[in-house]
Amino acid sequence: MIDIHCHILPGIDDGPRDLKTALKMARLAAKDGITEVVATPHCFDGVYDCQQYDIRNLCKDFDIILQRENIQLRVVPGAEIRLTPEFLDLVEQDKILTLGNFGRDVLLELPDVFLPGAVYELFKLLRNKKVRCIVAHPERNSLILSNNQILEGMVNAGASLQITAGSLTGIFGKEPQVLARKILEMSCSRFLASDGHCIKKRKPVMAKAIKIVRKLVGDEIARKMVLMEFN
């Protein structure tokens, strides 16, 4: 399984504070059946503004340590980018770190209080530039929870959706759980990720959730959701 959204790098955002905890997270992920993690520290969210250069370097060092420690997990760089008015400029200036640094997928965190009407146009514009926006955990966004139609608008504009494993298993409560299950059944490009932060409540695990996915929408979709196979 590939986990496209995880805060696993030590000391850079609200993920693990130190290397020891980051290694515990890595062992947990590997044990859970995750083979590759995209490290996605927060960027531009008003609290953390991790820099591309730091993320890439930290990732490279961490990956070497994982191999030295014989942990069967690869880590590649990425970022969780908060949607701000500057977003489009940042993409155009190449200041956004894409998933795996492949220049293709941007993991985008929507604001909770106000969604600019231009967001759909933005998704379309980026799609035309061959950049795909993957909306991080829409099932936990309060605007979307109160108006599910936003989801359809985003998907029609070319966005993909990333469901968090813990939402399916219920750790964020009933409402996100119901919406996560609804997203599973939408016919759109969707992915499962851990959004892991620590070794307690928000662990880097997906095995329990993928069982739910298989049961609800079948093996084929489940496989695509954890292998980045949706276009």
Give me the least distance between CB of 201 and Fe ion, in Å please.
13
- The answer to the question of residue 32 lying near Fe ion (CB under 5 A) is no
Distance CA 134, CA 195 (A): 13
Number of H helices, E strands in the chain: 10, 9
Task: Pick the stretch among 30-38, 44-52, 56-64, 75-83 that binds Fe ion (CB under 5 A).
Answer: 75-83
Task: Pick the stretch among 47-55, 73-81, 96-104, 170-178 that binds Fe ion (CB under 5 A).
Answer: 73-81
Which CB, 158 or 204, lies closer to Fe ion? 204
Which CB, 132 or 197, lies closer to Fe ion? 197
Task: Pick the stretch among 159-167, 168-176, 192-200, 210-218 that binds Fe ion (CB under 5 A).
Answer: 192-200
List the strands of the sheet with 190-193, edge to edge.
Answer: 42-43, 80-82, 105-109, 132-136, 160-164, 190-193
**Dihedrals phi, psi of 194, to nearest 5 degrees:** -85, -30
- The answer to the question of residue 195 lying near Fe ion (CB under 5 A) is yes
Q: Which of 80, 133, 166, 184 touches Fe ion by CB under 5 A? A: 80
Give me the least distance between CB of 104 and Fe ion, in Å please.
19
Residues 84-123, mask of contacts with Fe ion (x by CB under 5 A): ----------------------------------------
Which CB, 4 or 66, lies closer to Fe ion? 4
- Nearest-CB residue for Fe ion: 195
Can you give the C-alpha Rg of the chain in angstroms?
A: 16
Nearest to 16, CA basis, from 86, 75, 70, 101: 75
Which CB, 139 or 217, lies closer to Fe ion? 139
Give me the least distance between CB of 202 and Fe ion, in Å please.
9
How far apart, in Å, are the Cα atoms of 113 and each of 83, 144, 202?
12, 10, 23
Task: Pick the stretch among 22-30, 72-80, 82-90, 110-118 that binds Fe ion (CB under 5 A).
Answer: 72-80
How far apart, in Å, are the Cα atoms of 9 and each of 6, 15, 22?
9, 7, 6
Q: How many CB atoms lie within 10 A of CB 217?
A: 18
List the strands of the sheet with 36-39, edge to edge.
Answer: 2-6, 36-39, 74-77
Residues in contact with Fe ion, counted by CB under 5 A, come to a total of 2
- The answer to the question of residue 3 lying near Fe ion (CB under 5 A) is no
Q: Give the interface with Fe ion as residue ranges (CB under 5 A).
A: 80, 195
